[in-house]
Amino acid sequence: MLVFSQADTIIIGHLLDMANVGIYRITLQFTMVASFSTNALRDTLWLRISNWSKTNEIELVEGSLSRAITYSLVLAIPVFVGGVLLGDRLLLLFYGADFARGYKTLIILLAVQVINIFQFLFTMYLDALDNPKESFKITAVGVVANIVLNIILIPVMGVSGAAIAILATMTINSLLARRTLSKLIKIRIEQHSLLNILIASTAMGALVGGYRLLIPLSNIWVTLVAVTISVTAYGVFLC
């Protein structure tokens, strides 16, 4: 994702102005917390996957991928829900009205972080299973698609166009990586765990949405209370 976001930033700077670059970078930084679990898994899993592949322990590879997807979604999905509900106020209160204009971009980039889990893990597993050429080809297709989409969408839609471009690119990359990886291993989703995450995130969203309807988020402290409620509620509902 880093390659694509850097390309977005460069093209935004050329086609728009530095103010829009700032809005894009701030909204992107806001979404990075959603990918924390995924990034943490790389150092832990890569060597193990490589070793399991060499010893032909494919079932361990397949099981680790299923769990890695679940662990990553545990954070990414509630962050997406919370960002949709509170992102506009957080941008306004932390950075000001100019950056609050990036709320739509923020929502799109939060969706990107969810898709990035699959793209990141699928390409990482391809690399660890000694298929770096396939991973490189997929990334190369994504880079070209991202540049083309940025050039088309940014002049029309501004920074939201860049976000849509990276969302489309990450989706394409995820699908290509999945198709290639599925030829090597079985890709399974832990459906029961995913359902629990979705239920907990929905319940959290309903609670925080109700809080926002009853209490105007007029200052940073009231907004931080809403954030605290969302984190606590999600943890309770998930257990």
- Please write the tens of the pLDDT for every residue from 127-175: 999 888 998 899 899 889 999 999 999 999 989 999 999 999 999 999 9
How many Cα atoms within 13 Å fall on the side-chain side of residue 142? 29
pLDDT mean over 32-59: 83
At 108, which amino acid appears? I
Tokens for 11? 């093209």
Contact 119, 111 (CB under 8 A): no
CA angle 32, 81, 10 (to 5 degrees): 35
Q: Residue 2: pLDDT above 70?
A: no
Per-residue confidence (pLDDT) for residue 122, from 0 to 100: 95
Torsions phi, psi for 36 (to 5 deg): -60, -50
Per-residue confidence (pLDDT) for residue 4, from 0 to 100: 67
pLDDT tens digits, 101-127: 889 999 999 999 999 999 999 999 999
Q: Residue 3: pLDDT above 80?
A: no
**What is the reported pTM?**
0.90
Higher pLDDT, 14 or 81: 81
Q: Name every residue whose Cβ is closer than 8 Å to that of residue 127 and which is 6 or more positions away in sequence.
A: 46, 135
DSSP symbol at 56: T
pLDDT tens digits, 20-40: 888 888 888 888 887 877 777
What's the rounded Cα separation, in Å, for the pair 211 and 202? 14
Q: Identify the CA nearest to 63 among candidates 186, 178, 180, 196.
A: 186
How many residues can be counted in the chain? 239
Per-residue confidence (pLDDT) for residue 47, from 0 to 100: 85
Per-residue confidence (pLDDT) for residue 38, from 0 to 100: 77
Distances (CA, A) of 138 to 3, 33, 171, 177: 13, 25, 11, 7
Q: Residue 230: pLDDT above 80?
A: yes
Q: Name every residue whose Cβ is closer than 8 Å to that of residue 133 and which is 6 or more positions away in sequence.
A: none
Where do the structural domains in the chain lie, given as residue ranges?
Answer: 2-190
Per-residue confidence (pLDDT) for residue 207, from 0 to 100: 93
pLDDT tens digits, 6-15: 777 888 878 8
In terms of phi and psi (left: phi > 0; alpha: psi -120 to 50; beta: otherwise), the region of 187 is: beta
DSSP symbol at 32: G
What's the rounded Cα separation, in Å, for the pair 86 and 103? 10
